[in-house]
């Protein structure tokens, strides 16, 4: 072969056309392998659904995941943040590192869906006897990522880089007095050795089955726990002037807190919520109690606004209490931050989502006020979190049972779409298409 022909082959191999040809080959291989693993994904999902485990109790689920990853020849680490599993797939060629994440825990919900694999599990949760159900779809997330691991493990020789599979416990929050979740996974090295350059995750949601929805920037809210203890002075209900009524003060604080969002912050910049969900105080109709406790939640889509709301909550509660001669002790438990899709990464990977399902089945999601501790990973590295529709044809998504409902239903026809979406995202990231 002449030097000119050698040079021509080198140029062709480096050209966009050659890259597209190679990419097309990998695309076809992903889709072929995803079709082969589809029945396994459905079976895994049904098995995990029938055997749900609450946060920090995902022992059986973690064992299933770890055994599967080991069988695929991955490097596997278990016991991360109690029950987390991290698998590392090293490709046949050097390249970047990308992470994929699925959450494993179920909820204290009694299932009302009529399927053969419905959960019959009951357990104790915070001292109560409860049913246990995958009412948020984490069973689907685990099964999908197990499928992705099998798809990509079969292609390891062609992968230019490393894929890290993160199976996380306790996304729904840990029991009282415990720790866990994404924050603990990170603290125990889930993003280390090797450190990914980006992370991808999905969540099933009542959009039409198989649709993919994403949003650059803030897509899910931060979530902070709020507790306010109002202390007055106990007295006879017939002689309120002899004490300080914390119930009246609490009522004024509840109303005052509502003005933070409606009158004090610029809601054209980003939505926010302050909700009081419970008020506890008093034991008898003719006794003004010594104290009242209220609990609630603060939601925001902007980090600066979040901190500003914290300050306004404290000022409002303490000021109203002081005006009545009472005191208010405000405790804010910082929860998951805003789930924020890195704009540059999102723009780069959005064509992948459109290629997987077609442009007409990909859209921009509205912001969601629930929170996701996937945001903890996004604080450390760029991330993209998106929604996979699971509402079956013939059902109006607007009337479909929402996540956390005892009637939450997953159309399993969407599962292979999730496998293909995460697989293509990982490979496209590694090949820098």
Of 230, 228, 161, residue with least CA distance to 196: 161
**Residues contacting residue 23 through CB under 8 Å, at least 6 positions apart:** 428, 431, 433
- Rounded distance, CA 348 to CA 383, Å? 12
What are the residues facing 362 on neighbouring strands? Answer: 212
SS3 389: strand
- Rounded distance, CA 415 to CA 45, Å? 9
End-to-end Cα separation, the chain, in angstroms: 31
What are the residues facing 339 on neighbouring strands? Answer: 220
Cβ count within 10 A of residue 28 = 10
Annotation marks residue 38 as catalytic = no
Cβ count within 10 A of residue 79 = 12
Q: Which among 53, 103, 150, 171 is annotated as catalytic? A: 171
At residue 41's C-alpha, the angle toward residues 215 and 131, to 5°, is 85
**Residue 157 contacts residue 78 (beta carbons within 8 Å):** no
SS3 424: helix
Q: Encoding tokens for residue 173?
A: 């929050």
Q: Encoding tokens for residue 329?
A: 């002790």
Within 13 Å of residue 370, how many CA atoms lie on the same side as its CB? 12
SS3 75: strand
Annotation marks residue 67 as catalytic = no
Continuous H helices in 277-369: 303-323, 343-357
Q: Encoding tokens for residue 14?
A: 């480096």
Name the strand (E) or helix (H) holding 98.
strand 93-103
Q: Which among 53, 58, 103, 105 is annotated as catalytic? A: 105
Q: Encoding tokens for residue 79?
A: 């016991």
**Residue 64 contacts residue 185 (beta carbons within 8 Å):** no
- Rounded distance, CA 42 to CA 186, Å? 30
Question: CA separation (Å) from 250 to 8, 247, 284, 330?
Answer: 79, 5, 17, 12
Q: Give the active site residues.
A: 105, 171
């Amino acid at each position: 072969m002449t030097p000119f022909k050698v040079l021509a082959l080198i140029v062709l191999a480096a050209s966009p056309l050659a890259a597209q040809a190679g990419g097309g080959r990998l695309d076809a291989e992903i889709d072929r392998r995803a079709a082969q693993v589809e029945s396994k994904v459905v079976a895994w999902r049904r098995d995990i659904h029938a055997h749900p485990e609450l946060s920090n109790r995902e022992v059986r689920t973690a064992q299933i995941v770890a055994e599967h990853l080991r069988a695929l020849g991955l490097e596997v680490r278990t016991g991360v943040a109690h029950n987390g599993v991290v698998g590392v797939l090293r490709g046949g060629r050097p390249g970047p590192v990308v992470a994929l994440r699925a959450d494993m825990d179920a909820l204290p919900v009694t299932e009302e869906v009529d399927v053969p694999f419905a959960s019959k599990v009951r357990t104790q949760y915070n001292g109560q006897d409860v049913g246990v159900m995958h009412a948020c779809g984490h069973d689907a997330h685990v099964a999908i990522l197990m499928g992705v691991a099998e798809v990509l493990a079969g292609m390891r020789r062609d992968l230019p880089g490393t894929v890290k599979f993160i199976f996380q416990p306790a996304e729904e929050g840990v029991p009282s007095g415990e720790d866990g979740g994404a924050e603990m996974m990170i603290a125990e090295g889930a993003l280390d050795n090797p450190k990914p350059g980006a992370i991808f995750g999905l969540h099933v949601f009542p959009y039409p089955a198989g649709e993919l929805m994403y949003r650059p920037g803030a897509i899910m809210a931060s979530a902070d726990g709020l507790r306010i203890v109002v202390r007055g002075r106990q007295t006879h209900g017939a002689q309120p002037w002899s004490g300080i009524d914390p119930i009246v003060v609490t009522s004024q604080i509840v109303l005052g807190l509502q003005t933070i969002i409606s009158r004090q912050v610029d809601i054209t910049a980003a939505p926010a919520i302050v909700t009081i969900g419970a008020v506890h105080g008093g034991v008898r109709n003719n006794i003004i109690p010594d104290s009242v406790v209220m609990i609630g939640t603060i939601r925001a889509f902007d980090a600066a606004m979040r901190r500003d709301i914290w300050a306004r909550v404290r000022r409002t509660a303490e000021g109203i209490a002081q005006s009545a001669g009472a005191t208010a002790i405000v405790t804010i438990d910082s929860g998951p931050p805003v789930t924020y899709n890195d704009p540059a990464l999102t723009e780069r990977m959005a064509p992948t989502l459109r290629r997987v399902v077609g442009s007409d089945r990909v859209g921009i999601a509205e912001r969601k006020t629930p929170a996701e501790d996937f945001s903890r990973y996004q604080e450390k590295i760029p991330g993209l979190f998106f929604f996979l529709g699971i509402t079956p044809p013939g059902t109006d998504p607007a009337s479909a049972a929402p996540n956390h409902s005892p009637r939450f239903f997953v159309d399993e026809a969407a599962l292979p779409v999730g496998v293909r979406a995460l697989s293509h995202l990982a490979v496209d990231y590694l090949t820098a298409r």
